[in-house]
Structure 1
Amino acid sequence: MKSFFRMSYPYCLWIGIFIVAPMLMIFLYAITNTGNSTLTFQFTLDNFARFIRDPDFIRILLTSLRIALLTTVVCLLIGYPAALFIANLPDRKQTFMILLMTLPMWINMVLKTYAWRGILLNFDFSSEFKVFIGMVYDFLPFMIIQIHTAIAKLDPNLLIAAHDLGANNVKSFLKVTLPLSVPGIISGITLVFLPAVSSFFIPRMLGNGEVILIGNLIELCFKKTGDWNFGSAISLIMALIIITAMWATRKLDRSAEED
């Protein structure tokens, strides 16, 4: 057992260097005075207060949450029927359809976003709607794959038993398929909402400078203004929101398993 535990040392080292250490640095910047030098160690909470007091920053946060939530809902409304359709195909066709779903994910997001930018230039849509289209396109496969995995694992005998007990197709879906696919739905929501709420490249490319989300604000603090302390504070606020969202989805997942 000890020998197997020692095999985890490289992974622990990796986590410490690339996850724990950067998060500690972000935390240190967030609670110190403005400036890139953390050697002063003049602790303060002004960076967090600045974000909370400014209505423009709150508006940006709410806009980010709204677009991410809308993206998640639309991906779910499109993704569930698509996943259900794929799951009911023969095995070979399922494999082919999943391959088609994953093919766009092999292409770099920068190239895909540039392509959508060229396409959407021909349409008189609002900048926010263009950002929404780009997000749905990029994150929809995550929703479909997660839900398909959950539905494909269902025992077909359960549906046969439901029909034998007098349930029609609609009732079988509502009583059997939908409840048992909830874990896949929750996983899909997590994989869509979390990157959507923190996205910065898609709004920057498709928003024409008119749509600023929380990810763009963080990027602006680090790259343009050089205010690493305020940018780190916003990053921690976003991390708290993401952790809360993950906790809530995990809570729903456990409730679904218990039911």
Structure 2
Amino acid sequence: MARPSSAATRLRSLFSGRTLLIGTPFLWLLVFFLLPFLIVLRISLAEMDGAMVSDLFTYANNELFMKLKLQNYLTILEDDLYLSTYAQSLKYAGITTAVCLAIGYPFAYFMARSPSTVQPLLLMGVMLPFWTSFLLRVYAWKGLLDADTGWVGTFLNAIHADALLLPLGLISAEGQYMYTPFSLILGMVYTYLPFMILPLYGTLSKLDLRLLEAAQDLGATPWQAFWRITVPLSKGGIIAGAMLVFIPCVGEYVIPELLGGPETLMIGRVLWDEFFSNNDWPMASSVAVTMVLLIIVPLAIFNRNQAQEARK
């Protein structure tokens, strides 16, 4: 019997189940992330030619010319508006992530330790907000935070919350909860809290409880067992939840637009203004590319360090 040729063998291995299983996510990332990113990068290096974007490459007289405009990136580095906007976006995203972790970890821990018959109900309660439009849920906070008619604003006035929020700079005046950093952070925490709870619950529900029993047998207190066993073993869920919250918060546009004030300008609003108000697509693309790099580069460095520690 004739043996199959090397070309046929390579073709068969190309369409094997393992290759398709691994290649499908890479193909998805290529089509829906890398290619759009390259298109945005190409626009950021061009310039506006009327209502169109100029070409990077031109061919004339048997010569190929490449023209890259780097002024937009220099403007980002020199203009305080962009620098302060990036800083504010990172700050509010970091605060939102920390608050979501502080609220979501105890809730996920409670869910994971609840009876198995109750866990589906608690899980449905976490996912229930997704059944309502994101825009409607955010817009509802405008009425809830009104100091005169909203029950949340009335409650905050009753407990004199402005005495704490005003010195922290989260509100601009007594009883003014809307269009402030407080309303912005509150809206983002409310929106992205499920994205923190779900990965934490998935990690904590798989935790081997025998490790906690062994720690108690060795004399560890419940608090020591929690910090030395539960928290380190749930690090994967913490990192996943933090990324799911932090990354979309950096580029958030709807929540700052509806709930934030003039002092809560974030990079999503700058992108909108550059694209649609100023009609400066190259500048907007440069802002977007810089924002992606601010997120991807530290994340890649972190993942590399984690992989190196795992190999040790």
- Same fold by TM (over 0.5)? yes
Q: Match of 2:181?
A: 128
- Other-structure match for 1:144: 197
Q: Residues of 2 paired with 1:119 and 1:136: CA distance?
A: 15
Instruction: Work out the CA distance in 2 between the residues paired with 1:249 and 1:97.
Output: 33
Q: Cα distance, 1:160 vs. partner?
A: 1.2
Which ranges in structure 2 are unaligned for 5 or more consecutive residues? 1-12, 58-66, 148-152, 154-175
State the AA in 1 paired with 2:131.
Answer: W
Q: Per the alignment, do residues 158 and 113 of structure 1 end up closer, same or farther by CA in structure 2, a change over 3 Å counting?
A: same
Q: CA deviation at 1:34?
A: 3.6
Whether the aligned pair in 1 keeps the contact of 2:45 and 2:56 (CA below 8 Å) is no
Q: Which amino acid aligns with 2:243?
A: T
Alignment partner of 1:86 is 2:111: yes
The residue number in structure 1 matching 2:78 is 53
- Per the alignment, do residues 250 and 7 of structure 1 end up closer, same or farther by CA in structure 2, a change over 3 Å counting? closer
1:63 touches 1:213 (CA, 8 Å); kept in 2? Answer: yes
The structure that has the greater radius of gyration is 2
1:218 equivalenced with 2:271 (yes/no): yes
Residue 164 of structure 1: aligned partner: 217
Q: Distance in 2 between matches of 1:118 and 1:141?
A: 22
> How far is 1:107 from its partner?
2.0
Corresponding residue for 1:27?
Answer: 41
Q: Which residue of 2 aligns with 1:118?
A: 143
Residue 14 (structure 2) pairs with residue 2 (structure 1): yes
- Cα shift at 1:93: 1.1
Counterpart position of 1:101: 126
Cα displacement string for residues 136-173 of structure 1 (whole angstroms, at most 9, x for unaligned residues): 00111111111111111111111111111111211111
CA distance, structure 2, for counterparts of residue 236 and residue 70 of structure 1: 23
What amino acid sits opposite 1:145 in the alignment?
L
- What is the CA–CA distance in structure 2 between the aligned matches of 1:250 and 1:182, rounded to whole Å? 13
Query: Residue type matched to 1:95 in 2?
Result: P
- Following superposition, the deviation at residue 68 of structure 1 comes to 0.5
Q: d(CA) in 2 for partners of 1:40 and 1:252?
A: 37
**Pairwise CA distance, 1:19:** 3.0
Q: Indicate how the Cα distance of structure 1 residues 16 and 160 shifts in structure 2: closer, same or farther if over 3 A, else same.
A: closer
Give CA-to-partner distance per residue, 1:58-111, whole Å, 9 cap, x none: 111111111001111111111111111111111121221111001112322111
Aligned residues between the structures: 259
1:169–1:255 distance in 2 versus 1, CA, 3 Å = farther
Let me know the Cα RMSD of the aligned residues: 2.4
Partner secondary structure for residue 92 of structure 1: coil
Identify if the C-alpha distance between structure 1 residues 163 and 256 changes in structure 2 by more than 3 Å, giving closer, same or farther.
farther
- Structure 1 or 2: more helix by fraction: 1
- Separation in 1 of the partners of 2:307 and 2:226? 21
Deviation at 1:257, TM superposition (A): 5.5
Give the superposition deviation at 1:243: 0.3
Given that residues 30 and 230 in structure 1 are in contact (C-alpha distance below 8 angstroms), is that contact kept between their aligned partners in structure 2? yes
Distance in 1, matches of 2:25 and 2:215, equals 46
1:229 to 2:282 alignment: yes
CA distance in 2, matches of 1:78, 1:176: 20
**Match of residue 158 from structure 2:** none
CA distance in 2, matches of 1:7, 1:156: 33
Residue 255 of structure 1 deviates from its aligned partner by 7.2
